[in-house]
């Protein structure tokens, strides 16, 4: 019993181990320990990668862009097009915000795809904080643009008054569920994908020669994970656009 | 003169051809079935979570032990259906 327990403590093959937080430095403050963890390091790397990528590739400013310059121009165009399609001309002001969120989530997911790295988007607290920024920002924007008329969002036009006591709570819950669905979608996708990769990686060696099959599956799954990483960043950005559109244009 | 016009119209065709290709490429990737199903299910679950949360808070403050939870659970379920209805209507409008 004791030997198996010892074995178990030495073994490091849990598929969930990759999500463990390990602090590198401690900063004791009045509200608690603001530790610099592997998650923080991953975020710093992400921000550095985005900054370096966007500044260095566009630095040459050549009229005929190189491939790398084309990549950063395409990512700019992609979000500009997205805002134009969903919000319209009035949405141009919010481009920096949406572009920052899109790039942060996208590059964060991509950094997480590098072996031995840490995926910070697989933690619900990170995605929920991002979604909360969007949710609180959109709510403030709505009240700033429309004042108390923003409450009309909760009561659809042309509704008989006796339906209001039922529909207002439903609309309120629907409105409050936005940050939760936004954060859970990103978090669950990344968590499930990375766990699945590790689980199948655990099959490769014990199966011996037949381990080629899970190995091939992992290769395919990695491609799918990169697609999901992009898709989730895109979904996060497009939903932010839709919420901003709702706040600007009351129905 | 005629030949020049022909050349220009040919060039125009070429440009239009390339432009249509570019606009096709830059369109966002279409979601696959699993992603769409996941989107729908999170909307439903998120509304239920908020409903149950509000119900528990109401019960805690007003001391109406089971009734707040029951009522807000049902309202949360309706809110989930409303979310899904909105997504479907959004897709229909796009088509």
Write the residue in A74, A78, A170 that is nearest to B75 by C-beta.
Answer: A170
3-class state of residue A180 by DSSP: helix
Inter-chain touch B82–A188, beta carbons under 8 Å: no
Interface of A with B in 194-223 (CB under 8 A): none
Q: Do B29 and A185 touch (CB under 8 A)?
A: no
Average pLDDT over residues B13-25: 73
pLDDT at A3: 42
Across the interface, which of A74, A177, A230 has its CB nearest the CB of B46?
A177
* Confidence at residue A1, expressed as pLDDT on a 0 to 100 scale: 38
- Tell me the whole-structure pTM to 2 decimals: 0.81
Q: Is B50 on the interface with A (CB under 8 A)?
A: yes
CB B47 to CB A227 under 8 A? no
- What pLDDT is attached to residue A2? 42
- A73 Cβ under 8 Å from any chain B Cβ: no
Specify whether the CB–CB gap between A98 and A80 falls below 8 A.
Answer: no
From the list A177, A230, A231, the residue facing B47 with the nearest CB is A177
At residue B79, the pLDDT reads 93
For chain A, give every domain's residue range. 41-248
Complex ipTM: 0.73
Instruction: Please name the member of A82, A170, A231 whose beta carbon is closest to the beta carbon of B29.
Output: A231
Quickly state the pLDDT bin for B76 (edges 50, 70, 90). Answer: very high
Instruction: Decide if pLDDT at B86 tops 80.
Output: yes
Q: Taking the domains of chain B in order of start, what are their residue ranges?
A: 2-94
Which residues of chain B lie closer than 8 angstroms to A154, CB-CB?
none
Encode chain A (251 residues) as per-residue pLDDT tens digits. 344 444 444 556 688 888 888 888 888 777 777 888 889 999 999 999 999 999 988 887 777 878 888 888 899 999 999 999 888 888 889 999 999 999 999 999 999 999 888 999 999 999 999 999 999 999 999 999 888 888 888 877 777 888 888 888 898 999 999 999 999 999 999 999 999 999 998 888 888 888 899 999 999 999 999 999 999 999 999 999 989 998 888 76
How does DSSP assign chain A, residue by residue? -HHHHHHHHH----TTGGG---EEE--EETTEE--EEHHHHHHHHHHHHHHHHHHHHHTT--SS--HHHHHHHHHHHHHHHHHHHHT-GGGGGGHHHHHHHHHHHHHHHHHHHSTT---GGGSHHHHHHHHHHHHHHHHHHHHHHHGGGGGGGGS-TT--GGGHHHHHHHHHHHHHHHHHHHHHHHHHHHHHHHHHHHHHHHHHTTTGGGGHHHHHHHHHHHHHHHHHHHHHHHHHHHHHHHHHHHHHS--
Residue of chain B whose Cα is closest to the Cα of A234: B28
Residue B22, pLDDT score: 65
Q: Is B77 in the A-facing interface, judged by CB distances under 8 Å?
A: no
CA distance A173 to chain B (A): 6
Between B91 and A108, whose confidence is greater?
Answer: A108
């Amino acid at each position: 019993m004791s030997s198996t327990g010892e074995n178990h403590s030495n073994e490091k093959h849990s598929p969930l181990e990759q999500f463990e937080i390990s602090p590198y430095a401690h900063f004791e403050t009045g509200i608690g320990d603001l530790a610099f963890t592997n998650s923080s390091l991953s975020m710093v790397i992400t921000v550095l990668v985005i900054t370096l990528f966007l500044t260095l590739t566009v630095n040459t400013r050549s009229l005929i862009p190189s491939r790398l310059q084309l990549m950063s121009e395409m990512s700019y165009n992609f979000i500009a097009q997205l805002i134009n399609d969903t919000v319209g001309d009035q949405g141009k002001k919010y481009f920096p915000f949406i572009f920052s969120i899109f790039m942060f989530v996208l590059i964060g997911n991509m950094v997480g795809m590098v072996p031995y790295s840490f995926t910070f988007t697989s933690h619900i607290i990170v995605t929920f904080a991002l979604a909360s920024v969007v949710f609180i920002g959109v709510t403030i924007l709505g009240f700033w643009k429309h004042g108390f008329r923003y409450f009309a969002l909760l009561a659809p036009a042309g509704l008989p008054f006796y339906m209001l006591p039922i529909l207002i709570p439903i609309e309120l819950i629907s409105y409050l569920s936005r940050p939760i669905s936004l954060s859970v979608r990103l978090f669950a996708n990344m968590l499930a994908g990375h766990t699945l990769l590790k689980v199948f990686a655990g099959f490769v060696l014990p199966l011996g020669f037949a381990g080629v099959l899970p190995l091939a599956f992992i290769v395919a799954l990695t491609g799918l994970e990169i697609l999901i990483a992009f898709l989730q960043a895109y979904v996060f950005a497009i939903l932010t656009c839709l919420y901003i559109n709702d706040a600007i244009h009351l129905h | 003169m005629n030949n020049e016009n022909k050349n220009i119209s040919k060039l125009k065709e070429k440009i239009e051809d390339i432009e249509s290709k570019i606009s096709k490429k830059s369109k966002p990737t279409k979601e696959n079935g699993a992603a769409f199903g996941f989107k729908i299910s999170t909307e439903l679950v998120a509304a239920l979570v908020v409903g149950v949360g509000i119900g528990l808070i109401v019960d805690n403050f007003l001391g109406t032990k089971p009734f707040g939870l029951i009522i807000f659970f049902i309202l949360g379920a309706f809110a989930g259906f409303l979310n899904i209805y909105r997504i479907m209507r959004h897709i229909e409008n796009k088509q």
